[in-house]
Structures are given as C-alpha cells and as structure tokens.
C-alpha cells in the first residue's frame, strides 16, 4: 500500500489541510513536511517573485533512510502544498505530480470562492475532501 | 424421500467438517407436495456448542400427521442454497423442540400449536375493541389458504408497510412467536401488530411493551381505523378512504402489477415528521410535501409489495421472517435485498419531491433575490449572499456546503438559479432534511440562457496557464469590484502588447475554463439587465458595424476644428476615429459616466484597432489630427443625445470591464481588452443627432463637454501609463529572476 500524504499550509505556515493515506502515518509525515517547509521558504524567498515552484525535494536529500519523496508547490498567495510519497511508488512521475498540484490548486480556488470560507481556516469542504480522496486513491 | 436423505447427508457432512454451533437444523419435507428440504427453524439450544455434535446417529425422524417428516439434525448454521421457509409445513414441533434443551422430539398434532400459541398470546395481550376491529380487519387481509394461518407474504407486506426498519420487523416476528412457529397464527399476528405499534411509538420491541395502551400501528397505504389515536402526519385518513378498495385490490393483483411506475414519495417520516417552520419557510412547502407524500406512499407501497410479492412468490417463503444468523437463505437475502433495494429507491424518490421547487417557492425566492439584487439576470456577490444566508442561522459549515452545492459555476457569486438552489437547500435543511452530498437531479440548474448567448465558438489558447491565473485573481475580483478602474488600467495597458485575436480567444477561453466560470464572472460585475449580456455576446463574434458617421449637422466639421484647437493631445481614446478605438475610453467612462454610446461605437471597432491606439498615443504627444477630432466631436454630439442611454449603460460599463483579470494576467490581457470594449454594449441606439436650433450655443456646450472629457481621459491615461510602467518593471524583474534561475539550473543540468 503506497503511502501518500498531502498537506497545505497557509502563508503563515500553519496547516490548513492535512490528509494522508493510510492515516496512521500522519505523524511521521508531519515531521517530514515541517522540515520540508524550511526548504520551501528558502526557495520562495531566494527566487524573489518566482512563479509557482512545483518540484521541490528529492529522495536522498532529507531522508536517505526513509525513501520519501517530498514535493512542494507554492501558489501565488503563498499557500504551500506539500505532497509526500513513497519512493517505492516509482510509478509516480513528475508530470503526474504536477497535474496533482494543478488539480489541488483548482480545488483550492473553488474553496476560496466560497464566501463562507475564511482564508486561514482549516479546510472542511466536502467537495475538496472528495477531490483529494479521489486523487490519493488514484495514485496510491 | 430420497432427496431428503441426500440433504441430510450433505448437512451431516457439513456438520462434521465444521464446528457446530448450537443450532438445530430442521428438515422437513412434505411428501405429497414438495420434495425440497426446507429449513424450518434453527434455534439455539442451551448455550454450549459442543453438546450436540454432528453424527448421523443423532438424527431423529418424526413423522407427523400431515405426511411430513421432521428430521432433527444438529448442523452448521451455514445454509445451503435451497432453504426455504414453507408455509404450512412448519409445526409447532420445531418450536417445542428448540425450546427443550435436550433436543428431543415430540410428536404432537399440528393443531396444538395454535392453541398454545393463542393461549400464550392471549395472556400477553388484551385488545381493545378498537384494536380488535382493526386487527381483525388486517387479519382478514392477510388470510391465506391454510386456516388460522396467515399468508406470510401478505403479513410481510403489512410489516413493510409499517415502515419500520427491517431489524425491528425481524425482532417483532421473533418476539411474537411467529419465528418459532414458522408462521403467523392469529395470536402471533395480533401480538405482532401490537409490537409494531409499540415500535412505531418508539418503544422497544418486547412483550412487555405491549402491555400498556398503544396507538394503532400505522401502515402506509392501508386503511386506518377511524380516529386512530396517533395523529397521522401523512394525512392518511384523507387518502386512506380512497384506498380501502384500491388497497385490497392491490394486494390481490400485485402479482400482476409487477411494474409500478416509480413515483416520488416523501422521505421517511422520522427525520421530518414535524418540520419546524423556520422564518424562511413559506406555506406552500408543507402542502406540497404532504400532497406528494400521500400519492407517493401509495405508489411506494404498491411497488414495494409487488416486488416483495414477486420475490416471495418465487421463493414461496417469507424468508425475511427468519432472521437468525443461521438463516442466510437466498430467499432472506433476496427479500432483504428487496427491502434494501426499495429503500434506496425510495430514498432517491424522496429526493425528487422535497428537492423540487414549487411555484410558490420560486416566487418567494424571486422576491428575496430582488431584495438583494433588483436585476434578476445579474449575480449576487458572495459577500452579499453570505450575509443573507447567515441570517438563516444555520451553522457556517452547512452554509458552506450549501454554497458548494449551489454555486455550480464556481465563480463566487450566485445567479438567480443558483440562488434559488441555495435558498431551497437552506429551507430544506431548516425543515430537517439532511443535506445531500451532491445536488439532487431535480434541483440541478438548467443551463442559463444568458450564458449561452455569450459563448462564441472560438478556440482557446494556452488554457492551463490561464486557468491558474484566472484562479487566483478571480476570488480577488469578487472582492475588488469597486476597484474595477484600477484593474482596467493595467489590462488596458497590457492590451497594447497583444493581438486582437487573443482578446477574442480570451473571452471564450475564460468561459471554457470551467466554462461557466468566466461567463458568470463577466456577469458578476455586470449586474445589468440581460441586454448587456446580449450585447456582450454580440461583441466578440463580430465587431458591430461602426456607428459612423451619420451626423446630419454640417457644423460638425467646424466643431472639429474648434476641438482641435481647444483640446490638443488627449482626445482620449474615444476620440479616435472609428478605426482606432482604444478600450480605455471605457475606463474613463466608468468614473465619469461618459456617454456610453461613444464608447459602444468605439468598442465595436476597437478590436481591429489596437495598433492604431498605440500609434495614436504617439500622435497624442505630437499633436492631434483633425480626423480624430472629427469623430470625437461626432461622438460627443451623439453622446449628448443619448442621455438616457448612457444612464442605462453606465452601470454596464463597469461590469463589463470589471471582470478583467488583474495585473497578473499579463499574458492574456486581451480578454480585458475585449471586456472593456464589450461592456459598452452594442450601440443599438445611436440616436440620430438631433438638429439643433442654435448652432453656437450648442457648439459651446459641446466644446466644453469635450474639454472636460478630454481632461478626464487625460487623467485616466496618465494613470494608466504609470501603472503600465510599473507592470513593465515587474515584468522586467521577473525576467531577470527567471534568467538567474536558468543560470542556476544550467550547471545542474550539465552535471
């Protein structure tokens, strides 16, 4: 069973949305992701007004033992998406990750359009959850 | 009998292989009638599982008086396929056998059962006269061939008509003793009815529950006794009278009516039996619900019973009676699946009715919409809708979910249709209906006419990128509506770089991403009548013919000269000759309410004329051309005439321009161009220039107006210029960063 985890962070770096499959590994993913946030920040600030950074971390860089690939993505409003996948899941290619991020971004925009959603709140939208589940099932 | 022997062998084998539970597996076959091995009853004996091991020797045979043979063999609970409960084959033997721990058999006349059962039953219940009548009526309904035994299929239907969950029905069957018996005798039936009443009142299904006074059990679609103690929210009394005759016939002819047309029926009563009237509800809703409820129940029952009858007939056994785990009959499975099948089916039907908006509801929604937004064709912004719906005092999470369901085009604003959907969902929620996960089919919006008009069939280019860029700014746009001018400027500026085709593409591609999005987005700021939308639709496909010229006044030329001297330079966009019409004039008109007509005419010819605009700008500094003045003055004159028209269109212009993407969309500013051009709707009303009486005074007025306009345009252009410069800087910066990134990556790529 492939592990995959998705986290979303607000511009202030607190989590907006956390989802992982299987769900019992969440803590481990949290740690991974929090460290990866540092790298994201570094990249975002270094490049100045860069556009969305899609590919971010690679196997071997952070966790040589654990074989996780961590991908990052930053939206224009500095909302960060981080996806952690098993490196055993070699079937996931870069394009797929990119398309995943794109879908996430679109769904996130839909959530933003909802006037009842206050930016910065944890995301509880069922539609968003559905899309994320679909994505994870697809890749996991 | 050989089949029976075979069955026995099979069962014994099974027993040996698996550990036996304490069940006794009874076989019975009525020789004259059937040769099937039938599971009559499985009852647990004692508590231990090991006591009665499977041995062929443990079988016992009993021959009863009606040519049936009861064979008791301890067997595994697991059943095989052919286990049915046969009417009339089951003796009280089984009951008594199961009751005794030793598992011994008793041969007793079949007649004993009923008496004992009746006795036990009678001791447990005391029927009031009312109940007596009712129950006897129901009893008559369920009469079967065998005397004193009720047709189990009909009883099954009756139970289902009580609308209790299947588990309760099984429990009722068990408690009343029919399970033991294997059939419903009179006493069991009466007990069962009382238990049903208890269950419907919410009491646990136990014999103690029926000791007290209970209301009559309610059966959907069946006749109710006059003045039932419990109020029937379904309004069954009214419908039931009509039903009596129909009901009986339906019961009899159900086999024939295998195909009942599914009809909507009201959802299960439990969640919404007493819908509270929220402040937002209106009278008509409960009426429609009730009305449809009665109708639907009838059809529902008919269908349900028909289906169950069909199933039961096939298996000739009320399989659902036997609820023990041992009784995993195919029949049971099928009967229960029939129940389950009916339930989801009914649920889907239930969706139809409460989710359909009635006419009164629609009127109410329309009025509410009008209070928020007078124009029915326009959009309600998200914030406005949020305030309004928050008044309904539903939790924010539910409101958020409702919004997700109703905002089908995902533009952060509600069209009239979407508003109705949202309102309806809120009303339903306040009435106790759970929110659906997805939009019910009857509530789905019909594709809007207006939107269709505005979708030209143009190809899209580089859509994915645009998606992203649309995504971000879109939400901002909703909020920053008042700042449309600010947004216009950068878009107008960016327009400079782009070709006209892109603008054409922009608008359609915006619409294509998710198609409704951009369309509605354009409308989100329009808040105008449908005319504007139509005009916008007209814009993209072909530039409307230029208004040109019909200036009957010879003095126009003179005015041109006057203008030229009076206001050099700016002649702001709208002064351009028809060929070169920059969209910017729309920007000026936004704040200044310039005569829309000019703008309209200009925008119509805008598209082919981008280059001219830049060209014109250069000329601006150098000096003004007479020709440009000419049309400008013409427009100025005509614009005066369009006093009323401008009023009407002024509101349109901001909206047309508003939907442009903010600065981010440097790559696709065309859309903005087009939008700026579009809004000033097609100039259908270039009113003919009226012939003025006093040329001089008119000229003076015109000159003054022209000067004013020029000044305003000037200011706008200046602002636009500065913003463009800023954008240019930003773009430069980005380019630099990109290049530096490239440099960084290059060594990586090489390694």
Domains of chain B and CATH, by start: 129-201 (1.10.238.10), 359-431 (1.10.238.10)
B726 touches A: beta carbon within 8 Å: no
Cα gap B728→B212, rounded to integer Å: 87
Check if the beta carbon of residue B631 is closer than 8 Å to that of residue B605: no
Chain A contact for B396 (CB, 8 A cutoff): yes
Tell me the shortest Cα–Cα distance from B477 to chain A, in angstroms.
10
CB atoms A124 and B664 under 8 Å: no
User: Given a cut of 50, is residue B142 above it in pLDDT?
Assistant: yes
Of the candidates A137, A102, A101, the one whose C-alpha atom is nearest the C-alpha of residue A7 is A101
Q: Which residues, listed in sequence order, are joined to residue A84 by a DSSP beta bridge?
A: A5, A70
Report the residue from B400, B664, B737 with minimal CB separation from A116: B400
Contacts of B430 (CB under 8 A, 6+ apart): B276, B278, B280, B281, B392, B394
pLDDT over 60 (residue B729): yes
B160: which 2 tokens?
């289902």
Residues 659-688 (B) with a CB less than 8 A from some CB of A: 664
User: What are the contacts of B344-348 at 24+ separation with CB within 8 A?
Assistant: B345/B262, B346/B265, B346/B267, B346/B268, B346/B300, B346/B304, B347/B267
| Chain A residues near any Cβ of chain B (below 8 Å) | 47-52, 75-77, 102, 105-106, 109-110, 112-117, 124-127
Test A115 with B733 for CB contact under 8 angstroms: no
CB contact under 8 A, B467 and A102: yes
Q: How far apart, in whole angstroms, are the C-alpha atoms of residue B629 and residue B565?
A: 10
For residues B197 and B219, what is the distance between their CA atoms, to the nearest angstrom? 10
Instruction: Name the phi and psi angles at B150, rounded to 5.
Output: -95, 145
Give the chain B residue nearest A75 (alpha carbons).
B472
SS3 per-residue string spanning chain A: CCCEEEEEECCCCCEEEEEEECHHHHHHHHHHHHHHHHHHHHHHHHCCCCCCCCCCCCCCCCCCCCCEEEEEEECCCCCEEEEEEECCCCCCCHHHHHHHHHHHHHHHHHHHHCCCCCCCCCCCCHHHHHHHHHHHHHHC
Give the DSSP letter of residue B23: B
Q: Are B422 and B504 in contact (CB under 8 A)?
A: no
Dist. CA B360–CA B497, nearest whole Å: 53
Find the closest chain B residue to A117 by CA distance: B400
- From residue A66, how far is each of A70, A84, B151 by CA, in Å? 11, 11, 67
Higher pLDDT, A95 or B286: A95
pLDDT at B470 over 70: no
Among residues B267, B270, B328, which one has the least CA distance to residue B297? B267
Average pLDDT over residues A95-123: 83
Above 70 in pLDDT, residue B691? no
CB count in 10 Å sphere of residue B64: 18
Q: A70 pairs with which residues across the strands?
A: A84
Q: Which range among B14-28, B255-269, B365-379, B684-698 shows the weakest confidence by mean pLDDT?
A: B255-269
What pLDDT sits at residue B724?
94
Starting at the edge strand that comes first in sequence, how are the strands of the sheet with A68-74 ordered?
A15-21, A4-9, A80-86, A68-74
Would the CB atoms of A114 and B407 count as touching at under 8 Å?
yes
Nearest chain B residue to A111 by CA: give it.
B404
Chain B contact set for A48 (CB, 8 A): 733, 737
- CB-CB under 8 Å, B411 with A116: no
- The confidence band for B84, taking pLDDT boundaries of 50, 70 and 90, is very low
Complex ipTM value: 0.80
Read off the pLDDT band of A112 (50, 70, 90): confident
* CATH numbers and ranges of domains, chain A: 2-136 (3.30.450.70)
State whether B400 and A109 contact (CB < 8 Å): no
Among B residues 444-483, those touching chain A with beta carbons less than 8 Å apart = 464, 467-468, 471-472, 474-475, 478
Nearest to B474 among A51, A113, A127 (CB): A113
Quote the pLDDT of residue B675: 43
**Distance (Å, rounded) from C-alpha B38 to C-alpha B83?**
5
Least confident of A109-113, B330-334, B565-569: B330-334
Return d(Cα B456, Cα B511) in angstroms, integer: 9
| pLDDT value of residue B705 | 94
Residue B676: closest CA among B545, B587, B546: B587
The chain B residue lying nearest A116, using CA atoms, is B400
Shortest Cα–Cα distance, A115 to chain B (Å) = 5
Using the predicted structure, report yes or no on whether residue B670 has a pLDDT greater than 90: no
The neighbouring-strand residues paired with A9 are: A15, A80
User: B454: which 2 tokens?
Assistant: 């505005």
Q: How many Å is the Cα radius of gyration of chain A?
A: 14
pLDDT of amino acid B549: 52
Measured CA to CA, the distance from residue B749 to residue B746 in angstroms comes to 5
Residue B70 bridge partners (DSSP): B28, B62
Query: End-to-end distance of chain B based on CA atoms, in angstroms?
Result: 87
CA angle B183, B189, B193 (to 5 degrees): 140
Helices B516-526 and B463-479, packing angle to 10 deg: 30
Rounded to a whole number, what is the distance in Å from the CA of A81 to chain B's nearest CA? 15
Q: What mean pLDDT, rounded, does chain B reach? A: 56
- The residue behind tokens 């005509």 is B638
Cβ neighbours of A106 in B, within 8 Å: 467, 471
Q: Please report residues of B whose CB lies closer than 8 A to that of A53.
A: none
Please judge whether B468 and A52 are an interchain contact, meaning their C-beta atoms are less than 8 angstroms apart. Answer: yes
Q: What is residue B455's DSSP assignment?
A: -
Least confident of A130-139, B96-105, B394-403, B717-726: B96-105
At CB < 8 A and 24+ separation, what contacts does B172-176 make?
A: B172/B196, B172/B199, B172/B205, B173/B321, B173/B323, B174/B323, B175/B205, B175/B206, B175/B207, B176/B121
Quote the CA–CA distance of A130 and A137 in Å, as a whole number: 11
Question: Whole-angstrom Cα distance, residue B219 to residue B196?
Answer: 10
CB B526 within 8 A of CB B656: yes
Least confident of A2-6, B65-69, B319-323: B319-323
Residue with tokens 């860029």: B469
Residue A71: pLDDT band with limits 50, 70, 90: confident
Q: Considering only CB atoms, which chain B residues are within 8 Å of A55? A: none
Residue predicted with more confidence, B201 or B178: B201
| Closest Cβ opposite residue A115 in set B386, B410, B474 | B386
Give the number of other Cβ atoms within 10 Å of residue A65's Cβ: 6
Q: Which residues of A touch B474 (CB under 8 A)?
A: 109, 113
Size of interface A-B (CB pairs under 8 A): 67
**Contact at CB, B383 and A116, closer than 8 angstroms:** no
CB B720 within 8 A of CB B496: no
Cross-strand partners of A74: A80
**B292-317 mean pLDDT:** 43
Span between the terminal Cα atoms of chain A, in Å: 7
pLDDT grade for A70, boundaries at 50, 70 and 90: confident
For B741, residues 6+ apart whose C-beta sits below 8 A from its C-beta are: A47, A50
Residue partners of B352: CB distance under 8 A and separation at least 6: B264, B440, B441, B442
Q: Could you tell me which chain A residue has the CA closest to the CA of B380?
A: A115
Partner A contacted by B411 (CB < 8 A)? yes
By CB atoms closer than 10 A (0-12, 13-18, 19+), residue B441 is exposed
Strand B24-30 to B68-74 pairing: antiparallel
Cβ–Cβ below 8 Å for A116 and B734? no
Give just the sign of the alpha carbon dihedral B298, B300, B303, B308.
Answer: negative
Rounded alpha-carbon distances, angstroms, from residue B158 to A63, B162, B172, B308, B542: 66, 6, 12, 11, 68
Radius of gyration of chain B (CA): 41
Which residues of chain B lie closer than 8 angstroms to A126, CB-CB?
401, 404, 437
Q: Which of A28, A36, A39 is nearest to A5 (CA)?
A: A28
Residue B43 pLDDT class (50, 70, 90 cuts): very low
A-facing residues of B in 624-643 (CB < 8 A) are none
Counting every residue written for chain A, the total comes to 140
Contact assignment for B383 to A117 by CB distance below 8 Å = no
Check B471 against A105: CB less than 8 A apart.
Answer: yes
Which candidate from A47, A77, A110 shows the least CB-CB separation from B472? Answer: A77
Q: Residues B574, B594: contact at Cβ < 8 Å?
A: yes
3 state SS of B722: helix
Q: Are B662 and B476 in contact (CB under 8 A)?
A: yes
In angstroms, rounded to a whole number, what is the distance separating the alpha carbons of residues B338 and B332?
Answer: 9
Quote the pLDDT of residue B527: 42
- What the block records as the tokens of B552 is 């009957």
Q: Taking residues B578-587, what's their average pLDDT?
A: 47
Task: Look at chain B and count its residues.
Answer: 751
B386 touches chain A (CB under 8 A): yes
CB atoms within 10 A of CB A126: 15
Q: Does A25 have pLDDT greater than 70?
A: no
Q: Pick the most confident of B212-221, B345-354, B466-475.
A: B212-221
Name the least confident of B9-18, B119-128, B631-640: B631-640
Q: Which residues of B touch A73 (CB under 8 A)?
A: none
Residue-wise DSSP of B407-454: -TT-SSEE-HHHHHHHHHHHHHHHTTPPPPSS--GGGSPPPPHHHHHT
SS3 (DSSP) at B682 = coil
Q: What is the pTM of this model?
A: 0.33
Q: Which of A100, A116, A120 should we substitute to test contact with B (largest number of B Cβ atoms within 10 Å)?
A: A116
CA distance A109 to chain B (A): 6
- The verdict on a CB contact (< 8 Å) between A109 and B472 is yes
Whether B37 has its CB under 8 Å from any CB of chain A: the answer is no
């Amino acid at each position: 069973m492939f592990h995959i985890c998705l986290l979303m962070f607000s511009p202030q770096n607190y989590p907006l949305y956390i989802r992982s499959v299987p769900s019992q590994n969440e803590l481990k993913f949290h740690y991974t992701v929090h460290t990866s946030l540092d790298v994201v920040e570094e990249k975002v600030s270094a490049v100045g007004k860069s556009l969305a950074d899609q590919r971010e971390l690679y196997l071997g860089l952070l966790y040589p033992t654990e074989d996780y690939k961590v991908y990052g993505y930053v939206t224009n409003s500095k909302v960060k998406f981080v996806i952690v996948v098993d490196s055993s899941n070699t079937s996931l290619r870069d394009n797929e990750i990119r398309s995943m991020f794109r879908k996430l971004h679109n769904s996130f925009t839909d959530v933003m359009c909802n006037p009842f959603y206050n930016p910065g709140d944890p995301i509880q939208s069922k539609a968003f959850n559905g899309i994320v589940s679909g994505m994870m099932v697809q890749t996991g | 009998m050989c089949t029976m022997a075979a069955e026995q062998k099979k069962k014994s084998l099974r027993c040996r292989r698996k550990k036996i539970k304490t069940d006794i597996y009874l076989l019975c076959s009525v020789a004259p009638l059937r040769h099937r091995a039938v599971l009559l009853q499985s009852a647990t004996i004692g508590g231990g599982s090991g006591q009665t091991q499977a041995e062929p020797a443990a079988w016992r045979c009993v021959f009863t008086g009606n040519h049936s043979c009861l064979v008791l063999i301890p067997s595994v609970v697991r059943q095989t396929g052919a286990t049915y409960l046969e009417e009339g084959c089951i003796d009280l033997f089984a009951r008594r056998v199961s009751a005794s721990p030793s598992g011994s058999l008793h041969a007793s006349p079949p007649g004993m059962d009923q008496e004992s059962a009746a006795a036990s039953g009678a001791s447990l219940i005391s029927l009031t006269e009312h109940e007596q009548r009712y129950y006897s009526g129901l009893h008559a309904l369920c009469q079967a061939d065998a005397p004193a035994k009720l047709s189990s299929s009909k009883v099954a239907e009756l139970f289902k008509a009580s609308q209790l969950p299947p588990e309760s029905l099984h429990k009722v069957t068990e408690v009343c003793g029919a399970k033991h018996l294997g059939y419903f005798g009179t006493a069991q039936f009466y007990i069962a009815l009382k238990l049903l009443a208890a269950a419907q009142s919410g009491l646990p299904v136990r014999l103690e529950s029926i000791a007290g006074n209970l209301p009559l059990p309610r059966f959907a679609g069946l006749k109710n006794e006059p003045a039932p103690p419990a109020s029937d929210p379904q309004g069954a009394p009214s419908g039931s009278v009509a039903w009596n005759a129909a009901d009986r016939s339906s019961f009899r002819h159900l086999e024939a009516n295998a195909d009942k047309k599914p009809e909507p029926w009201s959802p299960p009563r439990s969640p919404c039996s007493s819908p509270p009237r929220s402040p937002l509800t209106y009278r008509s809703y409960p009426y429609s619900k009730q009305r449809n409820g009665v109708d639907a129940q009838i059809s529902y029952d008919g269908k349900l019973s028909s289906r169950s009858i069909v199933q039961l007939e096939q298996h000739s056994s009320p399989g659902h009676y036997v609820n023990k785990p041992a009784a995993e009959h195919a029949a049971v499975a099928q009967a229960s699946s029939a129940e389950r099948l009916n339930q989801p089916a009914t649920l889907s039907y239930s969706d139809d009715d409460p989710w359909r908006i009635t006419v009164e509801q629609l009127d109410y929604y329309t009025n509410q919409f009008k209070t928020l937004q007078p124009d029915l064709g326009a959009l309600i912004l998200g914030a406005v809708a949020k305030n309004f719906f928050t008044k309904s005092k539903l939790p924010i999470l539910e409101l958020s979910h409702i919004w997700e369901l109703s905002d089908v085009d995902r533009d952060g604003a509600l069209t009239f249709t979407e508003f109705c959907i949202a309102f309806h969902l809120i009303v339903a929620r306040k009435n106790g209906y759970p929110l659906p996960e997805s939009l019910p089919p009857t509530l789905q919006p019909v594709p809007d006419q207006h939107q269709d008009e505005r979708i030209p069939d143009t190809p899209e280019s580089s859509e994915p990128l645009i998606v992203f860029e649309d995504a971000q700014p879109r939400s901002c746009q909703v909020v920053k509506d008042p700042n449309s001018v600010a947004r216009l400027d950068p878009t107008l500026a960016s327009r400079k770089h782009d070709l006209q085709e892109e603008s054409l593409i922009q608008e359609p591609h915006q619409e294509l991403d998710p198609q409704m999005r951009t369309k509605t987005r354009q409308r989100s700021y329009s808040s105008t009548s449908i005319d504007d939308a139509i005009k916008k639709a007209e814009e993209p496909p072909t530039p409307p013919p230029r208004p040109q010229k019909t200036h009957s006044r010879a003095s126009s030329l003179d005015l041109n000269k006057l203008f030229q001297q009076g206001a050099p330079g700016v002649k702001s966009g709208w002064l351009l000759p028809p060929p070169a019409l920059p969209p910017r004039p729309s920007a000026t008109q936004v704040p200044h309410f310039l005569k829309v007509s000019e703008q309209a005419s200009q925008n119509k010819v805008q598209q082919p004329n981008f280059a001219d605009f830049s060209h014109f700008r250069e000329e601006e500094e150098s000096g003004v051309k007479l020709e440009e003045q000419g049309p400008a003055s013409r427009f100025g004159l005509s614009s005066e005439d369009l006093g009323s028209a401008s009023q009407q269109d002024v509101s349109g212009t901001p909206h047309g321009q508003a939907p442009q993407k903010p600065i981010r969309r440097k790559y696709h500013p065309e859309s903005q161009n087009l939008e700026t051009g579009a809004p000033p709707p097609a100039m259908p009303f270039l009113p003919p220039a009226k012939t003025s009486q006093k040329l001089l005074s008119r000229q003076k007025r015109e000159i003054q107006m022209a000067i004013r306009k020029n000044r305003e345009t000037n200011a706008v252009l200046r602002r636009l210029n500065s913003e463009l410069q800023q954008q240019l800087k930003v773009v430069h910066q980005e380019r630099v960063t990109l290049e530096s990134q490239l440099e960084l990556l290059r060594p990586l790529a090489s390694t």
